[in-house]
Amino acid sequence: MEPRLRLFFALWPDSATSAALHARARALHTECGGRAMRRDTIHLTLAFLGDTPAREVQRLRALAAQVDGESFALALDHVGSWKRNRVLWTGPSIVPPALAALAQDLEARLRAAGFALEERAFSPHVTLVRNARAAPAEAPPAPLRWSVASFVLVASERSAAGAHYRVIGRWPLQQRV
Ligand code: 2AM
């Protein structure tokens, strides 16, 4: 059988940002129960491809290298919860134009290359807790600033310890002058 991978494009936090996001996840877990994301799994998804033949990675790499995105600062100043799947997440209250443009460019290139994507609108979020028992307090969180200078292609692998995310490609975003 042809090998397959579960793939998605994402923003991957640097070490200081992932530590701060993980601290936020632990605080939410203390408040609302559920299961905090492990530090090494915390990310923001740009485009979810799902189950894909492994041979497509080469084409995905070529496509990602064509993306002409700009670096940006992301202010993670909002915490939200989704009742339907009991996810607690953090995200920006204002989506930076460079992030919207990056997600849009990537999506357009993926669709043009024949990759099937879901129709739902891009809603940038970092999942912090799953299976939460309650919604978090309304209080705004301490501001967390993430300097985004690259995006990645990730393979999601399952093991006894849970999901493991392997970064299989990284592309820089242009520094604005
Ligand atoms: P989530 O954090 O809201 O669950 C890997 O599964 C990543 O892809 C997660 O960040 C997940 O978002 C996102 N994703 C987007 N669409 C998905 C889908 N249809 N199935 C699974 N994960 C999806």
List domains and CATH numbers for the chain. Answer: 4-172 (3.90.1140.10)
- Residue of the nearest CA to atom 10 in ligand 1? 45
Cβ atoms within 10 Å of 47's Cβ, excluding its own: 22
pTM: 0.96
| Terminal C-alpha separation, the chain | 49
pLDDT tens-place string over residues 72-124? 999 999 999 999 999 999 999 999 999 999 999 999 999 999 999 989 899 99
For ligand 1, the distance from its centroid to the CA atom of residue 7, given in whole angstroms, is: 10
User: Is residue 81 in contact with ligand 1, taking CB distance under 6 Å?
Assistant: no
Q: Which segments of the chain does DSSP mark as H helices, in order?
A: 15-32, 57-66, 97-112
Give percent of the chain with pLDDT exceeding 70: 99
User: Is residue 156 in contact with ligand 1, taking CB distance under 6 Å?
Assistant: yes
**Ligand 1 atom with minimal separation from the 43 CA:** 10
Does 29 qualify as catalytic in the annotation? no
For ligand 1, the distance from its centroid to the CA atom of residue 128, given in whole angstroms, is: 12
**Ligand 1 atom with minimal separation from the 118 CA:** 19
How far is the C-alpha of 157 from the C-alpha of 53, rounded, in Å?
A: 14
Amino acid at 89: W
Whether pLDDT at 4 is above 80: yes
Does 22 qualify as catalytic in the annotation? no
Residues 11 and 47 sit within 8 Å (Cβ to Cβ): no
